Chains A and B, each alone.
Chain A
């Protein structure tokens, strides 16, 4: 029997990027806020201490900071005809765990989505006609516009101290920025990062070929910066232990380095770590949340009553809590009806590796970070004419050496031995003279790809695991082949002796790491028959429940998601402060 605790105004589930932003905003409103975090407290001095933060085995190979499958995992299959089996170890993606969430070990690449992204179905229909969208492709509009999002992107970028170069300031194009981006009201808060040799060679070559290269917008900071909350961050040192690691320099934006120093001091905020929420409790009519039930490490259950429940966990957990709590109608793949679990999408992670003459090229790839590099956007989204191509979508192309820790990052040319003296020589020759260019591409919703609860496998608490039914749709495979071939042209022109193309092809495998950019499952939108939350991130069915995360994306763009996730957190907080609290109830009437 759960012990009932005193009521709070707001309970926030998960204290990562979105939870900490919203908690801070709602505390400023004077609300009594409690955050429940299933993982441990984490801070820089203890958990990413410079004395042991650069440890590839601990943090990259053994995933010390990430969610342990023993706590929760997912089951996976490629289609509804297969039996889903558990991901016994995380491979394809790496959910975070603990305070800061996946925002501790992220790469720091911080995009705004394109204006066309937010009205994707309308955009493609207008440009190519309705028949250009395959029948099973369930892409849709977000129910808001880029212009609605602009102020919130701005707030997240200034919170995180993003280092970059604007391409479009109030409609005026800026030399050296991304010429395809939507108009922004002001420059990035910090200038672009310095560039190492590899990205510089990429940018020079791409420019000669007619592309317009620009620095990747980076939440690893180019200089010391104090954000609007008064929290100061340090300059990135290009340490090369970045993606999959916590930052010991206070240079990578995360909840720890931007919000928590302020939030944790607020008297109306309380954090309970190692507390896993079991479900959101609803009233007898199922129209109002009364709070949540959670369990702590001793196994004791607690009921935390609250007026407002905000799901800010990793996207898979937000969708799962909706399903476990009975919020919204679950998606039924046979009929295509229902919404929770629908439009689960991923990211097409494509790559080209170039092997250069070791006598002439020394890229020093160990100098780098998750977001240090140069990009082009000509191959992204609908920035090129898809009319004659037979597919939709594209990806952001960038050369961004994230580091070269040698357990995982020592490619050899195809045909090299995998062990013995021959392997040693090939590996030694390639280590400093290989260079990768990636294309992180869109993933469009398909009727057959969805999330639901697994009928067989359960977590340590006996609750069903989330089941992923997913494969790469034909559209996305065609798109990947095209963009990868275009990237290969650039790498060839850069002077590589040998090129290996890795376009993403099906079937989707849970084994090799691809990207943690899983999205969708509780899409936002203007139409309750195809969305779970309205354009203010509020549940259509239970209006005192909000959810913020990549789970509200109706499909994925050819960009990393965190910039948009952070902006949505500010948008939801604004909607609660400015609208919901004045008149608690649905903010949009369907």
Chain B
């Protein structure tokens, strides 16, 4: 169980813990280790802030080194999240809200590996009504889709990579991907890759902040969602009246944190 030997495959494993990530989460890990011994080691490999069937409280995912992405991939996903959800007078950008961190951790967990899905063959193309029949997991789609996007940019944009493009050029390319008007090399189509990254970016932006996105409940504040308050009995009959209490997340609120 040597963290630095972890393979970078996105497969679920208690061994799948990079040294960088271990260091980044050491402070949190020490607390967990002191509480429950060796079991805490499993926490690092799941990409999730909780374990199924466990009553232990969720743990906040913190920004830090990538667990799935290469540095290059991470920069690209941040650049995409920054255009899908741009900074404006309504909110910070998807990048600054932590959407890329969210996606990275998700791809390190069961979502990224499709381990809970039906992945037995034979794999054969189906009708649109039969859903995704690909044998590629989300982790594999990101690895191949990001490479295809980078290759496309270098080939058609004068050798520049996606992150080198101007905001307008990025938006134009993303819009073309959305319409599936861009041809990607490899098995991941531009249209389906765009749908995937849009879906995951939105998940990160709107999910509870414990997953690493929606930093400081930025999206909830923007739209007026009070989060996890869980009891609205006193407001049910206040018809057409604004709900004024600020949002709360599973981890509480930053202004509740212990001072000093």
Contact = CB atoms under 8 A, between A and B. Distances in A.
Interface of A: 40, 45-47, 49-58, 61-62, 64, 68-70, 73, 76-78, 82-83, 85-89, 91, 194-197, 200, 235, 237-241, 248-249, 361-364, 366-367, 404-407, 410, 418-421, 424-425, 427-428, 431-432, 456-458, 507-511
Contacts of A419: 83-85, 174, 178, 198
B239 A196 contact: yes
A432 B88 CA distance: 20
Contact of A425 (B90, B219, B225): B90
A453 B113 CA distance: 28
Contact of A238 (B88, B122, B207, B233): B233
Contacts of B236: 194-196, 238, 367
A508 B118 contact: no
B119 A507 contact: no
Interface string B102-117: 0000000011001111
A68 B124 CA distance: 21
A262 B5 CA distance: 51
A54 B130 contact: no
A362 B240 contact: yes
Contacts, number: 183
Main secondary structure of the interface of A (DSSP, over half): loop
8 contacts: A54-B230, A76-B130, A194-B233, A200-B239, A237-B232, A239-B231, A427-B223, A431-B225
A69 B232 contact: no
Contacts of A420: 83-84, 86, 171
B222 to A, nearest CB: 6
Contacts of A457: 120
A366 to B, nearest CB: 6
B22 interface: no
Contacts of B239: 196-197, 200
Given A420-B86, A432-B223, A88 B131 contact: yes
B50 A424 contact: no
Given A237-B231, A407-B202, A88 B133 contact: yes
Interface stretch (B10-18, B32-40, B51-59, B140-148): B51-59
Contact of A239 (B83, B129, B207, B230): B230
Residue among B110, B133, B239 with the highest chain A CB neighbour number at 10 A:
B239
A57 B90 contact: no
Given A431-B224, A456-B122, A197 B240 contact: yes
Contacts of A418: 178, 198
A511 B120 contact: no
B250 interface: yes
B86 A83 contact: no
A69 B240 CA distance: 42
A585 B106 CA distance: 55
Given A70-B118, A427-B223, A52 B231 contact: no
A351 to B, nearest CB: 19
Contact of B250 (A45, A52, A77, A427): A52
A195 B174 CA distance: 43
B128 interface: yes
Contact of A361 (B83, B86, B211, B240): B240
Contact of A57 (B88, B171, B211, B232): B211
A89 B130 contact: no
A507 B203 contact: no
Contacts of B243: 364, 366-367
A237 to B, nearest CB: 4
A57 B129 contact: no
Given A457-B120, A510-B129, 5 more contacts: A69-B118, A194-B233, A196-B237, A364-B235, A406-B206
B124 A83 contact: yes
Contacts of A58: 50
B140 to A, nearest CB: 14
B127 interface: yes
A61 B106 CA distance: 12
B129 A64 contact: no
Residue among B84, B88, B229, B240 with the highest chain A CB neighbour number at 10 A:
B240
Contact of B232 (A51, A240, A248): A240
A52 B50 contact: yes
A70 B230 CA distance: 32
Nearest to B241: A362
A78 to B, nearest CB: 6
Given A52-B58, A54-B250, A237-B233, A511 B131 contact: yes
A95 to B, nearest CB: 13
The 4 closest A-B pairs by CB, nearest first: A69-B118, A197-B239, A237-B231, A54-B228
A510 B131 CA distance: 6
A424 B129 contact: no
A401 to B, nearest CB: 11
Interface in B193-251: 198, 202-203, 206-208, 210-211, 219-220, 222-233, 235-237, 239-243, 250
Given A61-B203, A510-B131, A410 B223 contact: yes
B126 interface: yes
Contacts of A196: 236-237, 239
Residue among A54, A241, A249, A509 with the highest chain B CB neighbour number at 10 A:
A54
Contact of A407 (B50, B91, B207, B241): B207
B230 A56 contact: no
Given A40-B53, A88-B117, A88-B132, A407 B90 contact: no
B240 to A, nearest CB: 5
B86 to A, nearest CB: 5
Contacts of A50: 230
A361 B116 CA distance: 41
Contacts of B211: 57
Nearest to B237: A194
Nearest to A88: B118
Contact of A87 (B119, B131, B224): B131
Contacts of A366: 225-226, 232, 243
A52 B57 contact: yes
B143 to A, nearest CB: 19
B230 A237 contact: yes
Contacts of B131: 85, 87-89, 91, 509-511
Residue among A88, A249, A418 with the highest chain B CB neighbour number at 10 A:
A88
A424 B116 contact: no
Contact of A55 (B86, B208, B224): B208
Nearest to B223: A431
Contacts of B242: 362
B182 to A, nearest CB: 16
Contacts of A200: 239
Contacts of B223: 406, 410, 427-428, 431-432
Contacts of A56: 206-208
A64 B225 contact: no
A432 B242 CA distance: 9
B30 to A, nearest CB: 22
A80 to B, nearest CB: 14
Nearest to A506: B129
A235 B235 CA distance: 15
Contacts of B127: 78, 82
A70 B117 contact: yes
Contacts of B91: 424
